[in-house]
Amino acid sequence: MARHLLKNLEEMRKLLAGRSPSFFLDYDGTLIPPGAGPEDSERATALLAKLSKKYPVAVVSGRRLSNLVRDVGVKGVASAGNHGFEISHEDFSMVFDAGQEARAWLGVLKERFDAIASKYPWSQVEDKGLAITVHYGWMDKAKIPALRSDIKDAAREAVARGVIRLRNSKMALEVQPNADWDKGRAVLWMLERPFFKDTTPVYIGDDQTDRYACKALKGRSITVYVGGVVEEAAFYLKKQAEVISFLDLIAE
Ligand SMILES: [Mg+2]
What is the Å distance from ligand 1's center to 144 Cα?
A: 20
Per-residue pLDDT, averaged over 80-103, amounts to: 95
pLDDT recorded at residue 71: 87
In whole angstroms, how far apart are CA 240 and each of 15, 27, 38, 62, 248? 23, 10, 16, 17, 13
Query: How far is the centre of ligand 1, averaged over its atoms, from the C-alpha of 61 (Å)?
Result: 7
Q: Residue 163: which pLDDT band, with cuts at 50, 70 and 90? A: very high
Domain boundary at 177, 201, 222, which? 177
Lowest mean pLDDT across 33-37, 85-89, 136-140, 174-178: 33-37
Are 161 and 44 contained in the same domain?
no
| pTM for this predicted structure | 0.92
CA of residue 252 to ligand 1 center, whole Å: 24
Question: Do the beta carbons of residue 60 and residue 15 sit within 8 Å?
Answer: no
The CA 29 to ligand 1 mean position distance, Å, reads: 4
DSSP annotation of 148: H
> How far does the centroid of ligand 1 lie from the alpha carbon of residue 58, in Å?
14
CA–centroid distance, residue 99 to ligand 1 (Å) = 27
Domain match, 148 and 90 both: no
Average pLDDT over residues 58-69: 95
Q: Are residues 21 and 83 in the same domain?
A: yes
Give residue 220's pLDDT band: very low, low, confident or very high (50, 70, 90): confident
pLDDT range class, residue 212, cuts 50, 70, 90:
confident
With 90 as the cut, is the pLDDT of residue 218 above it? no
* Whether residue 185 is found in the same domain as residue 87: yes
Average pLDDT over residues 21-29: 96
Question: Is residue 139 pLDDT above 90, yes or no?
Answer: yes
> How much is the average pLDDT of 168-181?
92
Q: What's the half-sphere exposure (Cβ side, CA atoms, 13 Å) at 251? A: 18
pLDDT digits (tens, 9 = 90+) for 143-154: 999 999 999 999
Cα 154 to averaged position of ligand 1 atoms, centre (Å)? 26
Cα 18 to ligand 1 centroid, rounded to whole Å: 30
Q: What separation in Å is there between the alpha carbon of 240 and the centre of ligand 1?
A: 10
Q: How far is the CA of 96 from the centre of ligand 1 (A)?
A: 21
Pair (114, 162) in one structural domain: yes
At residue 1 the predicted structure's pLDDT band, cuts being 50, 70 and 90, is confident
Domain that holds residue 10: 3-95+181-251
Say if residue 130's pLDDT is above 90.
Answer: yes
Distance between Cα 169 and ligand 1 center (Å): 8
pLDDT of residue 45: 95
Distance (Å) from CA 207 to ligand 1 centroid: 5
pLDDT band at 58, cuts 50/70/90? very high
User: What does the mean pLDDT of the chain come to?
Assistant: 95
Please say if the pLDDT value at position 113 is more than 90.
yes
Separation of alpha carbons 51 and 73, rounded Å = 14
C-beta separation of 239 from 225 below 8 A? no
DSSP-assigned states of every residue in 55-91: S-EEEE-SS-HHHHHHHH--TT-EEEEGGGTEEE-SS
Rounded to the nearest angstrom, the distance between the alpha carbon of 67 and the centre of ligand 1 is: 15
Q: Give mean pLDDT, residues 235-251.
A: 96
The mean pLDDT value for 171-199 works out to 95
Distance 158 CA to ligand 1 centre (A): 26
Residues 234 and 135 in one domain: no
Domain boundary among 177, 209, 228: 177
Supply the pLDDT for residue 5: 96
Task: Check which CATH number belongs to the domain holding 113 and give it.
Answer: 3.30.70.1020
Report the number of distinct structural domains present in the chain.
Answer: 2
Residues 88 and 191 occupy one common structural domain = yes
Pair 48, 60: CB distance under 8 Å: no
